Structure 1
């Protein structure tokens, strides 16, 4: 309960600071860089040393690909039925077709399941969400925005960023040093640095939230949030239970990760590509606080399955 309190208090504090404090411009981006480069790598390193290297890890590793593919079918059908533009379709797929597995997912796993299962978030992110965003995400954005000429260059740049991404490097180093007996003071120190992840990441999310009324974007917004917060985790549960024959704790946490709100980086890519920037902001701005209501419901449902 104390972890959930810290998570909620940090998010609310970020929103209040955004509304009432005089902060430097783009303060949330600066804090996000601190989280990615300082808070997340120790957690990734320790997770790599403790995660079980079994066939069970294939489910979280494939989660992002399944959710993105399901979103391609669902949003494609919705676009035809509702007469949505290709820009709106692209925005829905880039933001609503991927989970916020680090800034929201990682602290939520720690809050609801404990730090010992934090490795599931990295399995969902590095072979999954990061590559989905870097490859089909970038190519889709380039195609739908009419900027196909820059698609290959953007793809190379995205893959380079992925390989140099500090959490990815920390995860790889942790796997490499698994057999090594490291001193207790080092492991304990890294764990203490990792405790800053939950408050700072959710403070960052709160600083970046911009709440607004949906107006004419209400229909595509509902479509995006229904898929991301309800249908996507249900799809992963179906795949886990029927495809992998696995309903254990790792499978439950993977479903929980699929229930995370729309991905911030996907929304940024949609915005930079001119794919319905207003809808992209709404999906993140409304989907993130709404997930604080839906995630406890999913935790309760998963506990009873």
Structure 2
């Protein structure tokens, strides 16, 4: 199981480091908001452009992969909305944490696992699926914030469109996908700058998550923790398997699709929550708890996947 747990260790280690740095006041309190802003507006978009611009689809069953991952994301979003409709005691900011906790996925963990388990081919398929997912997820999440975190003002289509158009994560996805579709290549120097900048996105984001984490919040946010985790670790992997089977995906592509839907939610969710007025404390708790839970759920998921033909 070392291939399963190994990619999770640095994630938890950085969250713990951020928690300790904040608690010991090793860094000035003003550092953390600045770190969040830098990650959100610069480092994450750089990482998205670099990762999405250079992928080559080739002979992969990209349409089946596309429908599988997008269908799974839309299903999880609908389930969160249906649950919220029957539990309206949850306010808008708390709902956005539930939404992101049930819809987003940790790209770092998913890609690292795919490479460890299935080699370069697995990494390529996972990167393709992740590229399809990232833009839709960010559109859905930004729309959820625009509709529910309004400060008392009724959201308008213009406001929602403006939030989408100026969101740096969506801009990063759009630029990366656009470069890929047109076949344009980034200059080597610029691509190197984006690659180097993007490498700092996850470490800095995870440190910020740890700095915001409060153990006492677990009981307070237990409802969103339980619901988002059930969707993330039970419903989404099952939905990915069902969609992949119905669409006729075979071999390693099925396993990678399930893997993309079996990892914890993304640290990016916390950055977005801070920047768009969500319940960031609830979001930090969900990210940390789901990352811890994945040490138990991922080995179980992979054990169940052993019965699938890898082709």
Please give the range of the TM-score, normalised by the shorter of the 2 chains.
Answer: 0.7 to 0.9
Q: Paired residue for 2:209?
A: 208
Structure 2 residue 252 is matched with structure 1 residue 249:
yes
Report the 3-state secondary structure (helix = DSSP H, G, I; strand = E; otherwise coil) of the residue aligned with 1:261: coil
Is 1:153 the counterpart of 2:154? The answer is no
Deviation readout 1:88-121 (Å, 9 max, x if unpaired): 7733552133122434433343344334333444
What is the match of residue 233 of structure 1?
A: 237
Change (3 A) 1:110 1:76: same
Q: Secondary structure at the match of 2:263?
A: coil
Partner of 2:75: 69
Matches of 2:166 and 2:197, distance apart in 1: 27
**Shift of the alpha carbon at 1:258?**
1.1
How far off is 1:40 after superposition?
A: 5.2
Cα-to-partner distance string for 1:212-235 (whole Å, 9 max, x where unaligned): 241232133211111112211111
Cα offset, 1:176, TM superposition: 3.9
1:44 and 2:52 matched? yes
Q: Specify which of 94, 99, 106 is matched with residue 104 of structure 2.
A: 99
After superposition, the CA RMSD in angstroms is 4.3
The residue correspondences of 1:239-278 to structure 2 (distance < 5 A) are 239-241=243-245, 243-266=246-269, 269=272, 276-278=279-281
**SS of equivalent to 2:159:** helix
Secondary structure of the 2:221 match is helix
Could you list the structure 1 runs, at least 4 aligned residues long, displaced by more than 6 angstroms after superposition: 193-200
**Partners in 2 of 1:286 and 1:85 — Cα distance?**
20
Contiguous gaps of at least 5 residues in structure 1: none
1:25 aligns with 2:42: no
Alpha carbons 1:138, 1:155 under 8 Å: kept = no
Q: Distance between the aligned counterparts of 2:120 and 2:201, measured in 1?
A: 16
Distance 1:207 1:126 in 2: 24
Which residue number in structure 1 is paired with residue 135 of structure 2? Answer: 130
Long gaps (5+) in structure 2: none
Do 1:79 and 1:85's aligned partners in 2 also have CA atoms closer than 8 Å? Answer: no
Give the C-alpha shift of residue 273 in structure 1: 5.9
Alpha-carbon distance change, 119 to 211 in structure 1, aligned in 2, over 3 angstroms: farther
Please give the per-residue CA displacement for 1:242-286, whole angstroms capped at 9, x wherever unaligned.
Answer: x21224212211111112222444555556666655433322232
The alignment partner of 1:118 has SS state of helix
State the 1:32 CA deviation.
Answer: 6.5
* Cα contact 1:107–1:198 (8 A) shared by 2: no
Residue 169 in 1 paired to residue 175 in 2? Answer: yes
